[in-house]
Amino acid sequence: MGWIIFIVATLGWHIGLYGMFKKAGIEGWKAFIPFYNTWCMLQKMELPKYWFFLQLIPIAGQFITIWIAIKFVEHFGRFGFWHHAATVLLPFIYFPYLGFSKGERYAGIPVVKNYKKSVAREWIDAAAFAVVAATLIRTFVFEAYVIPTPSEEKTLLVNDYLFVSKWAYGPRIPNTPVAMPFVHHTIPGLNVKSYVEWIHIPYTRWFPSPVKRNDAMVFNFPVNDTLINDPEQRFGSQRTYYEECRASGREKVWEEYGSMIITRPVDKRENFIKRCVGIAGDTIEIVKGNLLVNGKPQDYFPNAQRHYKVVDPQKTLTDAESLAKIGIHIRESQDDVPPTGGPDVLVNITNEEWKNLSPENAARFVHYDEGPDGRLFPYYNHPDSAHIWSADNYGKLWIPKKGATIQLTADNIIRYRRCIETYEGNEFEQRGEKVLLNGNEATTYTFKMDYFWLMGDNRHNSLDSRFWGFVPEDHVVGKASLIWFSWEGGPRWKRIFTWIK
């Protein structure tokens, strides 16, 4: 739905501009060429050409483009507030009206010279409209996002620039509506919050649509509700506040970092992107690195990758070039672990590369399985062998579903207490063998939200649900849909304007 609206709006804008160009004596086809159309507007209005190049400045450039559009509308004799508001907020409707209505005509430079409005007023109008338009689009339609880490290699690469559809699952109303535009949670350079919390809107999603298994999802990092706001960035997505508390003890963490510990509302937690491999009601399990959902192997993703041990007594696989000759393409800059010799050398191989290896070459690699790891959710700390989980041998684990009821057994409390207490806002207390919810004794619990299980396609280099647990539905931001730009020492031309699978 979001992309349908985007396409309709874009077509309306350009078709309307075509009619406006014809009335202004400009060849209509020029209206359909991005940026060149604004060059033609400036040329027709006899404005300095440096305004064209100022459009290319990040963030500020959109204000320039909006100002050019407003000036062009003024040359049709339209100077009022509502005409300018329609130019910014509804150009896909207003431009066709100006372009094809018989009652509208291009008045030209003389009518603009006869109208008196200060330059300051023009810029204030353009800036105000731009902020409103950009905020509405960013909140309800789509948002730009850049891949910061290699956890999705090689499906998504570091410095892939994405469009994230907010309509895929329904636009979510911000919990903190009073905030600085174009800033997520911190004002750059000041290290202070970019939002206020005295106005708080409960979780609300318009026109909700279900999350589909295996979607590439952008979400707010659930365990980022409390964090060590360290300017040296020793903590964050790789080492969370909760992990530090488990490792060092809560009292020690507060003693050492208390002045830096802060909390954030849901919509201001860090944005992450992973693949949603499990939806509400699924049971997930990992056996020898293979993910099972409800007992069935997961769908095949060609670019999903994992570590393999190198069996290379002759030491012929020593660098990226020798691996490329047999069909394995590593990215040394992104921790694909190029081989250097030795018994435990690892290399990342995608599913597609493994499938296409000859039997002779495949025999030179063996699956590598991570060992037991106490950092894994739900942080079992007892010696029961059934609960010694690893990143490659994990579960079984059921994902909570809205309306489903569980028994509050000791093991379920370990697995689901954070969902019950933190994400769904219940007062949770244990008195011996009794459980009290909101002051009342309880033996069962019925979930209020759906939850999801997220994993990175780069399975051995991804801090995902295996380490921090479930993603509640109120943390879901949108679906990663399109790579609109990609960069690594220069544009990655083959990735630009590709759909994300």
- In the chain, what percentage of residues exceed pLDDT 90? 37
Element holding 417 (H helix, E strand): helix 410-418
CA distances from 432 to 408, 410, 429 (A): 13, 11, 10
Paired tokens of 407: 């028994």
Mean pLDDT of 254-264: 90
DSSP secondary structure of 366-389: EE----B-TTSTT---S--GGG--
CB-based contacts of 103, cutoff 8 Å, min separation 6:
none
The pLDDT of residue 397: 96
Question: How many residues are recorded in the chain?
Answer: 501
pLDDT at site 354: 85
pLDDT value, residue 43: 93
Mean pLDDT of the chain: 85
Give the model confidence (pLDDT) of 337-386 as tens digits. 554 444 567 888 888 888 888 888 888 888 888 888 888 999 886 555 55
Do residues 158 and 488 make contact, with C-beta atoms less than 8 angstroms apart? yes
Between 343 and 84, whose confidence is greater? 84
Q: At 149, is the pLDDT very low, low, confident or very high (cuts 50, 70, 90)?
A: confident
Give the lowest-confidence range in 198-202, 239-243, 308-312, 447-451.
Answer: 308-312
Give residue 131's pLDDT. 73
pLDDT band at 335 (very low <50, low <70, confident <90, very high): low
Listed ranges 133-142, 321-330, 473-482; the one with the highest mean pLDDT: 473-482
Position 122 scores a pLDDT of 66
CB neighbours (10 Å) of residue 317? 22
pLDDT of residue 407: 95
Residue 216 DSSP label: E
53's CB contacts (< 8 A; 6+ apart) are none
Looking at residues 171-192, what average pLDDT do you find?
Answer: 82
C-alpha of 231 from chain center? 23
Q: In this predicted structure, what is the pLDDT of residue 148? A: 75
pLDDT tens-digit profile of 20-72? Answer: 999 999 999 999 988 899 999 999 999 998 888 888 775 567 778 888 898 89
pLDDT for position 442: 94
Residue 466: predicted pLDDT: 94
Percent of the chain with pLDDT strictly greater than 70: 88
Handedness of CA 348, 352, 355, 361 (dihedral sign): negative
The answer to whether 155 and 490 have CB atoms below 8 angstroms apart is no
Q: Measured on CA atoms in the order 189, 192, 196, 200, is the torsion positive or negative?
A: positive
Which phi-psi region, left, alpha or beta, contains residue 80 (left: φ > 0; alpha: ψ -120 to 50)? beta
Comparing C-alpha atoms, which of 428, 446, 424 is closest to residue 437?
Answer: 428
Helix (H) or strand (E) holding 98: helix 91-100
The more confident residue out of 435 and 7 is 435
Tell me, what's the pLDDT at 152? 67
The H or E element that residue 410 is part of is helix 410-418
Kindly report, residue by residue over 91-144, the tens digit of the pLDDT: 889 999 999 999 899 999 998 888 766 667 666 766 776 677 777 777 777 788
| Cis peptide upstream of residue 378 (ω within 30 degrees of 0) | yes
pLDDT(17) > 70:
yes
Q: CB neighbours (10 Å) of residue 181?
A: 12
Res 29: pLDDT: 94
Q: What is the mean pLDDT of residues 235-257?
A: 85
Q: Is the pLDDT of residue 446 over 90?
A: yes
Name the most confidently modeled range: 88-92, 152-156, 298-302.
Answer: 88-92
Rounded mean pLDDT of 246-269?
Answer: 90
Q: How far apart are CA 67 and CA 80, in angstroms?
A: 14
